[in-house]
Amino acid sequence: MSLQVAIVDYGLGNLFSIDNACEMVGLKTVITSDIAVIEESDGLILPGVGAFGDAMASLKKDNLSGAILDFVKTGKPFLGICLGMQLMFSESEEFGANEGLNLIEGRVVKFPDLNAKGEIIRVPQIQWNQIYPNDPAVWSQSPLKNVKEGEYMHFVHSYYAKPVDSSTILSFSEYEGVRYASAVIKDNMVGIQYHPEKSSDEGIKIYQNWANYIKNKSY
């Protein structure tokens, strides 16, 4: 029996680039907003681009937020990409206070206006930037296990996540003097701020490792 990965369709995501990346690593995917399909799937991806509050409103509208929370409780693999990672957190300050899915305790905050030199920080960050392990042992048992330390990944974001528990940080990056969590991991959940599907072969490795986890329960 082939394993199925559901990609949540709530109107705010780069669905097809993620779908293509999954197909490249042999995953059978379905882009869906059907709760029954999500429940039956073997893995779940929450994508996202745009504003945090709009995204949460869309997820709550058809109880997709509830379906995501129920899915995570099953212990099956869950992956949040870009805004999808931010939505995993408790809250965001983007355009006022907005509650998130609270899968990982913490806040999503905006990059500061100025760096340490008093220079204006350009946001969003749209560039290739490096990722580093917060804990090499955790890195080696995650979807990043064969990605080189200091590898460049493609980022597009104005806000970043601040986990309460630093042990949930999988990779960190730095932008204009701000060191932040660029990927997180907790139990069966992984969140990635950058876009692996737009990050060349090294990014596709992340999807391949996650696919292996779905199939073998091991990275």
| Residues annotated as part of the active site | 82, 195, 197
Whether the Cβ atoms of residue 101 and residue 73 lie closer than 8 Å to each other: no
Instruction: Name residue 39's amino acid.
Output: E
Calculate ∠ Cα 6-214-37, nearest 5°. 25
Spatial CB neighbours of 15, under 8 Å, sequence gap ≥ 6: 7, 9, 31, 47
